[in-house]
Amino acid sequence: MKKIIFLLVFLTFSVHQKAQEINWISLNKALELQKENPRKIMIDIYTNWCGPCKLLDKETFHNKDVVAYVNKHYYAVKFNGEGNETVNYKKGSYGNPNYDKTKANKRNSSHEFANFMGVNAYPTIAFLNEKGDFIIPLKGFYGPQQLEFYLKMLADNKHIELTSQEKFNDYKKTFKPEFKN
């Protein structure tokens, strides 16, 4: 009887944990999915050695409100800015010809796609519109409520209307976060 109870508790916990995760896919897959079901793409550009990247993953990307919102409104991509994945973006193919597998968990050469996107800090969260065009990079760590502002602004296309710093500041002042930290 104890084994059955343990198994039920374990399965319940496992299902609960699975529900708390963002549905991460590759950039190639996200770009392919956009063709049939247009949706914005959020790219978590990280490295294996980056402490703030790990904190972003733990504190923000496992927050239940962030998880639910991202899974509903975005294709979510995890991309190692120093990895060796081949990315096919627009009419180009990007790789990391200087990748050193012996440095997989240390500083490695920068990926060509990270360079193309202008990434010079980790973590960076980049957003692409429904056509795969670059919208904005967010450099550094963002907590759940900080990220909520950008997730909702971009999902609702408010960024298109914010044509000046003054309009952006006004929008930010009136924004009421709903995500729990």
Other Cβ atoms closer than 10 A to 54:
14
How far apart are alpha carbons 2 and 77 in whole angstroms? 41
Q: Which residues of the chain have pLDDT under 70?
A: 1-19
Instruction: List, in sequence order, every residue forming a beta bridge with 87; answer none if it has no partner.
Output: 94
DSSP 60: I
How confident is the model over 30-40, as pLDDT tens digits?
Answer: 999 999 999 99
- The 3-state DSSP class for residue 54 equals helix
pLDDT of 8: 44
pLDDT of 21: 94
Report which of 85, 87, 80, 78 is spatially closest to residue 47, judged by C-alpha positions.
80
Q: Which CATH class is domain 20-174?
A: alpha beta
Report which of 151, 154, 145, 147 is spatially closest to residue 176, judged by C-alpha positions.
145
pLDDT of 162: 94
Q: State the burial class of residue 87 (Cβ atoms within 10 Å of its Cβ: 0-12, 13-18, 19+).
A: buried
How far apart are alpha carbons 42 and 137 in whole angstroms? 10
Name the one residue in this structure whose structure tokens are 């002042």: 173
How far apart are alpha carbons 23 and 74 in whole angstroms? 10
